Amino acid sequence: MGNEAERYNVMQQTSGLSAKAFAEIPGLSKAIGYQISGGLLERSRAVLEGFSQTIM
């Protein structure tokens, strides 16, 4: 799979959630989620842990 933004977007689309709802899973604002999905910002380890704790 491609870069961080592409992975984030695939995860969001696969989840079926809105961009806002998906960003809220690890405690992000919609603006930060938008920056990650646009490739302007990389996900931190804390964001990845937030997703994994919610999914598991």
pTM of the entire predicted model: 0.73
Q: Whole domain around residue 16: which residue ranges?
A: 4-55
Q: What is the tally of structural domains in the chain?
A: 1
Tens-place pLDDT, residues 6-25: 888 888 898 899 999 988 88
Q: What is the pLDDT of residues 19-42, one digit of tens each?
A: 999 888 888 888 988 898 888 887
Given a cut of 70, whether residue 1 has pLDDT beyond it is no
CATH at 41:
1.10.260
User: Sorting pLDDT into bands at 50, 70 and 90, what band is 2?
Assistant: low
- Give the whole-angstrom CA distance, residue 43 versus residue 9: 12
For the cut 60, the answer to whether the pLDDT of residue 56 exceeds it is no
